[in-house]
């Protein structure tokens, strides 16, 4: 009832190893979508993903948590998974705007922009950085920079946070899974607030 639109998809998986690409193979995937198109579940033989679209109506982590509880409870009821091999929470934010590097300081923490902005100023047309942090409860990969995004190559500043654990977890209960998500969210939100200024936050709220 929460995800009334259903369609079957074919995913083509291509693995590139040290000896080059392996032969691609296809697998069936099942997608379930809410009426407003803001949320969709992708179910494959080895993973379940809940995706949200801000432009279509995503509002908060609390809404995500509520919907994922429904998703995971359905998985527990119908499939009884014995292990969680990987669990992750990812936020991709793109603050749209055609600004020079110094102008981004109105929206992005100057400490994050770094010394290159001070040295090269408006001569910087594009930038990208990636930081990988190993923590007790998982791995946090943070990508950011002045990058065009999407089919229209819209200019803006990218903030991409990906927090995950790849060590198999035997506790597949709803409480254990949601506790991990709650912890990841708290850390990612604190990082997000450090990255952006109040002006940027006001822009997100207005959108």
Per-residue pLDDT tens listing for the chain (207 residues): 899 999 999 888 777 777 777 777 788 999 999 999 999 999 999 999 999 987 777 778 999 999 999 999 999 999 999 999 999 999 999 998 899 989 999 999 999 998 878 788 788 888 899 999 999 999 999 999 999 888 888 899 999 999 999 999 999 999 999 999 999 999 999 999 999 999 888 877 666
Number of helices (H) and strands (E), helices first, in the chain? Answer: 5, 10
CA distance 180 to 168: 13
- pLDDT reported for residue 207: 61
Classify the C-alpha dihedral 154-155-156-158 as positive or negative: positive
Read off the pTM.
Answer: 0.87
- pLDDT reported for residue 57: 72
For the segment 125-155, what is each residue's pLDDT rounded down to a tens digit?
888 999 999 999 999 999 999 998 888 888 9
CA distance 175 to 45: 23
- pLDDT reported for residue 33: 95
- pLDDT reported for residue 115: 81
For the segment 49-73, what is each residue's pLDDT rounded down to a tens digit?
999 987 777 778 999 999 999 999 9
- What residues have CB less than 8 Å from 101, skipping those under 6 apart? 113, 116, 117, 120, 121, 122, 124, 127, 146
């Amino acid at each position: 009832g929460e995800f009334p639109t259903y369609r079957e998809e074919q995913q083509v998986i291509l693995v590139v190893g040290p000896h080059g690409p392996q032969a691609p193979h296809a697998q069936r995937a099942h997608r379930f979508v809410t009426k407003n198109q803001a949320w969709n579940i992708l179910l494959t033989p080895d993973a379940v993903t809940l995706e949200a679209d801000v432009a279509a109506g995503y509002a908060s982590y609390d809404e995500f948590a509520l919907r994922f509880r429904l998703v995971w409870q359905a998985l527990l009821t119908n499939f009884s998974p014995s292990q969680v091999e990987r669990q992750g929470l990812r936020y991709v934010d793109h603050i749209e705007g055609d600004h020079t590097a110094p102008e981004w300081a109105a929206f992005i923490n100057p400490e994050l922009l770094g010394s290159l902005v001070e040295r090269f100023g408006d001569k910087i047309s594009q930038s990208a950085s990636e930081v990988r942090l190993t923590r007790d409860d998982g791995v946090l990969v943070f990508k950011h920079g002045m990058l065009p995004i999407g089919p229209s190559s819209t200019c803006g500043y990218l903030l991409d946070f990906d927090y995950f654990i790849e060590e198999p977890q035997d506790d597949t209960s709803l409480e254990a899974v949601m506790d991990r998500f709650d912890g990841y969210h708290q850390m990612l939100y604190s990082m997000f607030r450090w990255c952006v200024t109040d002006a940027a936050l006001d822009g997100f709220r207005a959108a």
